Chain A
Amino acid sequence: MGIKCVAIRTSAEPDAMYLSYADIIHEEEDENAEIPVFLDIEKLINVAVASKCDALHPGYGFLAENAYFAEKCRDHGITFIGPSPDAIYKMGNKPVARQIAMRHGIPMAMGTPGNVADEDEALKHAARIGYPVIIKAASGGGGRGMRIVRQESEMEKMFILASREAEKAFNDPSVFIEKYIENPKHIEFQILGDTHGNIIHLGERECSIQRKHQKLLEEAPSPALDEELRQRMGETAVRIASAVGYYSAGTVEFLLDSDRNFYFMEMNTRIQVEHPVTEMITGIDLIEQQIRIAGGEALTLKQEDIRLTGWAIECRINAEDVQAGFAPSPGRIEKISFPEEPGIRVDTGVRAGSSIVASYDSMVAKLIVTGTDRRQAIRNTKIALDKVWIKGTKTTLPFFRMLMRNHLFQEGTFTTAFIEKDLEKFHTSSEYEETIAAWLATKLFVEENLTDNKTNINFDQSRELTPWLLRKRLTQF
């Protein structure tokens, strides 16, 4: 769009890839800082003012949903590329959001009207709503401070845990309680609104493939929706957004139960990680739209212009060890390459030599693959996944390779409980793969113990081998 761009270099990632896209790089020595610079409102504003920024895009993590930050930007004459501070506050504070939704007749799961003070009050509310219930952090997100309570006896422990977790994560211990809907689908709608009061939706995203409330794979559209349901849910999403005078891109999240009832969960007042799947099937660049809207332009798109064409699947390739329950696996990326073909999009912030540092998120890349329909998209994803090459850290690739071959996934009937309930293993490896690995182990053994030749394998990791021990044992018999 011909806009000059300022980026901040941090001590944690001094040669991060995003810096290569920047026109101006601001150096920030934050090695000894208490909080990362991307969470330091005062510092960020200072940088923006000093580098004469007109506008600031908050991304999708850190301060993207911080109303105070948005307000500070405005106070300093910097356009915040996102919704108004008021909309962020109203939708970010869940009890407030619930009250607004209730006033506008938006379907919701039964819950407490506001925050719950203590365990005793929690027990009373839960008895009225009926177990199972879910305790949620009032200022929460991303699954933190959330606890499912299945029976009365668990309430006290879970309430304290949830509240403590909420305080640690969001500086706010307040929690509220909602009916827990078993095995729902997570369906969200992309919203676009301008500062002139126009609001449209860009269809849904299916985000039911999640683990501990963290999404792993998203697709658009959802196999669970037909045109009629899409229209009803889309209209509801627009109604919620209108209720807070929403502008910019936003997402309205719903739970969809097996009887096709949907319940408003929350609204994310920012662009989301999974926005590319919507871009791929609508052909609309959401970030461009955000920037135009922030500049005061009116939407040129009308609801009837929005056509969903084809199917898109996004795999979040994270540095996580699938075999160790998705434990983070930080490390240095030694080699990385992706398929470069039409219909495949890769969003990544790393390259060979980059480190996945423990201080930030574990995301390595987003692989977005399209197809004319869902079957085709799954087939294309399967092929694309085999062409992704990452060395240096364990990733979630084995999980997606398994998922593409899973029948429940292929049928599209999975719910948010899929990973916890329907999967026994998070990866598959065929017998020949294991045979090859066994062959390699045997080869190493032979070269280390049974031959005089030096091994021709380049060990780049440390070894703890004590060959004399082995030799001793072998000669004993």
Chain B
Amino acid sequence: MKPDKPSIKKLYALSTEGHKFSFSLPLKNVIRVNGRDYNIELREDEKYGIHILWKNRRYPVEIVRTKQNRYEILFNDIGHIFTVETPISMQRKKVLGAGRSKSGTLTVRAPMPGKIIDVLVRENAEVIKGEALVILEAMKMQNEIQSVVSGRVTRVGVKAGQNVMKDDMLAEITVK
């Protein structure tokens, strides 16, 4: 049995784009728009599956993944990622965030399952932002997987001809 948490009065949902939404507890089934409250309902039925009913319209919704306090939600076919924080964890996050440095190692992962057609970099190679690292073929399309940072390749995780799954490590780049 979990103990009751009467002390928490508010929760924050932070999006990966930096938007912050706050909700008072106990959580009500309403969303406030321009000072007016609208009821929101989470439903499931045979024809539509899980959906949200809001302002007389049905929207498809999916809980894609949850990990600790991180929630990936698909709403109206668009994915959103939030971390939900209590006022206290929020404060702690701020303190921790301030001490983090910018440099480090970036792991490049496969954005989709597919086959590696070509590996264009070697270990220790210097790459610039936008440079193609590997060519990944998925569903008849060849995709250049580019480096999003400039730096040095410290590890190459794949070979040409190899099949990869989504999120498999392709390369590691140490940011300059």
Contacts and interface: CB of A to CB of B under 8 A. Distances in A.
Contact of A441 (B13, B50, B77, B113): B13
A67 B43 CA distance: 54
Given A324-B111, A391-B60, A394-B77, A441 B82 contact: yes
Interface in B114-138: 114, 117-118, 138
B111 A327 contact: yes
Interface string B53-87: 01000111111111111010111111110101010
B77 A439 contact: no
A464 interface: yes
A356 to B, nearest CB: 9
Interface in A203-252: 212, 214
Interface stretch (A10-18, A26-34, A297-305, A451-459): A451-459
Contacts of B143: 325, 327
Nearest to B70: A441
A450 B74 contact: no
Contact of A390 (B33, B60, B140): B60
B112 A465 contact: no
A437 B73 contact: yes
A interface, size bucket: 35 or more
Contact of B50 (A168, A327, A438, A457): A457
A168 B161 CA distance: 11
Contact of B40 (A334, A439, A474): A439
A252 to B, nearest CB: 24
A442 B84 contact: yes
Interface in A426-477: 427, 429, 432-446, 448-452, 457-461, 463-466, 469-471, 473-475, 477
Nearest to A211: B141
Contacts of A289: none
Interface stretch (B15-23, B96-104, B149-157, B168-176): B15-23
B95 interface: no
A435 B21 contact: yes
Nearest to A212: B141
Given A327-B111, A436-B31, A441-B71, A473 B89 contact: yes
B142 interface: yes
B48 A439 contact: no
Given A362-B139, A469-B68, A164 B2 contact: no
Interface string A124-136: 0000000000000
A337 B49 contact: no
B79 to A, nearest CB: 5
B141 A328 contact: yes
A437 B60 contact: no
Nearest to B27: A446
A86 to B, nearest CB: 27
A433 B78 contact: yes
Nearest to B23: A442
Most buried by B among A324, A329, A335: A335
B69 A328 contact: no
Given A142-B140, A335-B49, A439-B40, A459 B63 contact: yes
Contact of A323 (B23, B79, B86): B79
B139 A440 contact: no
B56 to A, nearest CB: 13
Contacts of B63: 440, 444, 457, 459, 461
Contacts of A394: 74, 77, 79
Nearest to B110: A327
A398 B78 contact: yes
A358 interface: yes
A395 B76 CA distance: 11
Most buried by A among B8, B74, B84, B118: B84
A433 B67 CA distance: 22
Contacts of B42: 440, 443, 457
Interface of B: 1-3, 5, 8, 11, 13, 15, 19, 21, 23, 25, 27, 31, 33, 40, 42, 44, 47-50, 52, 54, 58-69, 71, 73-80, 82, 84, 86, 88-89, 92, 111-114, 117-118, 138-143
29 contacts: A164-B118, A322-B78, A328-B139, A329-B112, A330-B113, A334-B49, A335-B48, A358-B113, A358-B114, A389-B60, A390-B60, A394-B77, A429-B76, A429-B80, A436-B59, A436-B75, A437-B61, A439-B27, A440-B61, A440-B63, A441-B71, A446-B27, A449-B2, A450-B5, A452-B2, A457-B50, A464-B65, A470-B69, A474-B89
Given A390-B77, A437-B80, A442-B84, 11 more contacts: A144-B142, A389-B60, A391-B50, A429-B75, A429-B76, A433-B76, A436-B52, A438-B19, A449-B2, A470-B68, A474-B88
